[in-house]
C-alpha cells in the first residue's frame, strides 16, 4: 500500500526526456553504451521527431508483414521489439513511453517462448525491464524490476550476446538491487582481469564508484570516479556521479562549479536544478532555493529524491514538522541504492522527529517472466 503523496510533489506534467531512457552507467565503449543509469532522471525536450518516427514506423510495418505470414518467427518478434524499444528515446510522454516498453516486452517474451537459446533476446529484455524501472516513483518498485532485469542479464551472459560488456551490465544491476558487496566483488574481479592500458577501465572504475557509494564508502566512491576520468570518456555522466558524492559528503563549494557546468551543458535535466537547490540551501543562499526547485520541476518527471529532501529542510525551518516528516519519508523511499548514505541520514532524521521510514512492498503490475 503506497501512501498519499503531498500535492506539492506533483506540480507540473509528467514528461519524458530526449535523453536515452536507458542512461545507466555507460560501459565505456568508444560510443557510450546505453544500458541504463542510476535510474537516472529523464527530462523534457522539444518534440520534433516526425521524420524519424515515420521511418521507424515503416520499418516496424515490415516486421508486421513478416509475422502476418510467419507468426512463429522468433527473430521477427525480436527485430520488431528492438525497433519499438529503440524508438522510445524519441517519446516524451510518460504514458506513451511506458506503453511502448510494454509492447516491446510482449514481443520479446514471444520471441523467447519460441526460441529460448538466443542471448540477445534476454539482453533486450534486460534493457526493457531496466527502463521500466526508471519510470517508477518508489525505489522498492525500481529494485523489483531491476531484479528481473538482472535475471535476464545473467541468462544473456550465459548464452552469449552481441551486446557490449554484458558482465558489466550484471554488476550495474547488482548495485541497483542493493547487492552492494556482490557488486563490488564482481567489479574488482573484472578490473583485475582487464589488460594493462585498456581504456575501458574507466567504465569499470565509475561502476565501482557506485558500488562503493551503495556501501556508504563515499570517499572511495569519489576517488574511483575521479580515477575513471583518465580516458576523458562519458565525462558528463561521470561528473554527475561526482556531484552526487560531493553533496553526500557535504562538499558543497566543490560541487557547485561542476553543477554550473553541467547545467550549462544541458538545461534539460531538472534533477540538476534540485541538486543546485540543495547546494544553495547549505551554502546559506536560502532565498534562491525555491526558485531553483521551480526551475527544475518543469524539466523532469522526477518528483522524488532531491526534491522532497530539499523541501523537507525548508519545511523544518518554517516549523512545519508534519510536512517535513512526510517529505523526508518520500525522499528516503525514492532514492536508489547509490544514495544509501543519504537514505541512512534521513532515517536518523526521521528517528529524531519521532517517525519511521515508509514500509513499502513492490506494487508494479509486472510478474517475473519465465527464464528457461
Q: What is the pLDDT of residues 293-305, one digit of tens each?
A: 999 999 888 899 9
Residue 19 has pLDDT above 90, yes or no: no
- Average pLDDT over the chain reads 87
Q: What is the pLDDT of residues 318-348, one digit of tens each?
A: 999 999 999 999 999 999 999 999 999 999 9
Q: Pick from 210, 230, 168, 232: which is nearest to 30 by CA?
A: 232
Q: What is the pLDDT of residues 246-275, one digit of tens each?
A: 999 999 999 999 999 999 988 778 999 999
Q: What is the pLDDT of residues 101-123, one digit of tens each?
A: 999 999 999 999 999 999 999 99
- What is the set of domains in the chain, with CATH numbers? 7-352 (1.25.40.10)
The pTM is what?
0.87
Q: How far apart are CA 141 and CA 118, in angstroms?
A: 28
Q: How far apart are CA 203 and CA 225, in angstroms?
A: 9
Who has greater pLDDT, 43 or 354?
Answer: 354
Confidence of residue 55 (pLDDT cuts 50, 70, 90): low
The answer to whether the CB of 224 falls within 8 A of the CB of 212 is: yes
Q: What is the mean pLDDT of residues 159-179?
A: 97
In this prediction, residue 59 carries a pLDDT of 84
Residue 345, C-beta contacts closer than 8 angstroms, at least 6 positions apart = none
Residue 18 has pLDDT above 80, yes or no: no
What is the percentage of the chain residues whose pLDDT exceeds 70?
85
Q: What is the 3-state secondary structure (H, E, C) of 48-62?
A: CCHHHHHHHHHHHHH
In this prediction, residue 331 carries a pLDDT of 98
Would you call 31 exposed, middle or buried from its count of C-beta atoms within 10 A (0-12, 13-18, 19+)? exposed
Paired with 93 in beta bridges are 15
User: What cell does 193 get?
Assistant: 582481469
Residue 46 has pLDDT above 70, yes or no: no
User: What cell does 216 get?
Assistant: 556508504
Amino acid at each position: 500500500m503506497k501512501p498519499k503523496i503531498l500535492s506539492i510533489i506533483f506540480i507540473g506534467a509528467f514528461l519524458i526526456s530526449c535523453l536515452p531512457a536507458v542512461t545507466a552507467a555507460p560501459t565505456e565503449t568508444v560510443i557510450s553504451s546505453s544500458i541504463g543509469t542510476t535510474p537516472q532522471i529523464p527530462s523534457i525536450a522539444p518534440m520534433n521527431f516526425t521524420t524519424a518516427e515515420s521511418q521507424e514506423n515503416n520499418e516496424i510495418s515490415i516486421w508486421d508483414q513478416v509475422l502476418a505470414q510467419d507468426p512463429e518467427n522468433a527473430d521477427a518478434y525480436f527485430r520488431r521489439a528492438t525497433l519499438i524499444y529503440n524508438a522510445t528515446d524519441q517519446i516524451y510522454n510518460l504514458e506513451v513511453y511506458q506503453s511502448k516498453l510494454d509492447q516491446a516486452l510482449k514481443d520479446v517474451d514471444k520471441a523467447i517462448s519460441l526460441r529460448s537459446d538466443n542471448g540477445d533476446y534476454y539482453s533486450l529484455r534486460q534493457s526493457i525491464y531496466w527502463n521500466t524501472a526508471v519510470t517508477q516513483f518508489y525505489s522498492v518498485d525500481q529494485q523489483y524490476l531491476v531484479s528481473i532485469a538482472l535475471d535476464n542479464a545473467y541468462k544473456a551472459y550465459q548464452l552469449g550476446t552481441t551486446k557490449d560488456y554484458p558482465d558489466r551490465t550484471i554488476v550495474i544491476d547488482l548495485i541497483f538491487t542493493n547487492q552492494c558487496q556482490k557488486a563490488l566483488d564482481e567489479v574488482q574481479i573484472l578490473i583485475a582481469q582487464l589488460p594493462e592500458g585498456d581504456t575501458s577501465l574507466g567504465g569499470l572504475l565509475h561502476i565501482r564508484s557506485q558500488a562503493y557509494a551503495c556501501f556508504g564508502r563515499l570517499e572511495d566512491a569519489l576517488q574511483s570516479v575521479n580515477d575513471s576520468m583518465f580516458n576523458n570518456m562519458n565525462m558528463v555522466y561521470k561528473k554527475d556521479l561526482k556531484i552526487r558524492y560531493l553533496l553526500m559528503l557535504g562538499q558543497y563549494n566543490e560541487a557547485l562549479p561542476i553543477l554550473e557546468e553541467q547545467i550549462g551543458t544541458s538545461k534539460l535535466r531538472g534533477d540538476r536544478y534540485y541538486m543546485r537547490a540543495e547546494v544553495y540551501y547549505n551554502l546559506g543562499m536560502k532565498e534562491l532555493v525555491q526558485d531553483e526547485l521551480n526551475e527544475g520541476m518543469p524539466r523532469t518527471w522526477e518528483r522524488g529524491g532531491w526534491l522532497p529532501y530539499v523541501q523537507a529542510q525548508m519545511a523544518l525551518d518554517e516549523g512545519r514538522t508534519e510536512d517535513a516528516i512526510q517529505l523526508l519519508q518520500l525522499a528516503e523511499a525514492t532514492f536508489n541504492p547509490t544514495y544509501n548514505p543519504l537514505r541512512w541520514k534521513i532515517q536518523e532524521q526521521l528517528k529524531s522527529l519521532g517517525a519511521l521510514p515508509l514500509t513499502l512492498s513492490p506494487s508494479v503490475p509486472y510478474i517475473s517472466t519465465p527464464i528457461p
